[in-house]
Amino acid sequence: MELTWGLILFSFMVIPYRLIANPAQSLPDLIFGRTLLPAVTFVCGMAFFIVIKFPHSMNDPTWIQTRG
């Protein structure tokens, strides 16, 4: 779920914003340096937060609503 939300967020919000804000930047640098790295950080941060905040959610199947 975190991966899906991260892809949606960064595909429909971050990439168009970056294209409008700095149209002179090269596309590979825009996608990898300015979008992909923050997207990976975002998804890993969300997963890390869930594991720290709800440690039993990884073993108990009733916590699926928290994990996504």
Q: What are the structural domain ranges in the chain?
A: 2-67
Span 31-40, pLDDT tens digits: 777 778 877 8
Span 41-58, pLDDT tens digits: 887 888 888 888 878 777
- pTM given for the model: 0.55
Q: Hey, what's the torsion of the CAs at 64, 65, 67, 68, to 10 degrees? A: 110
Residue count of the chain? 68
9 vs 1: CA distance, rounded Å: 12
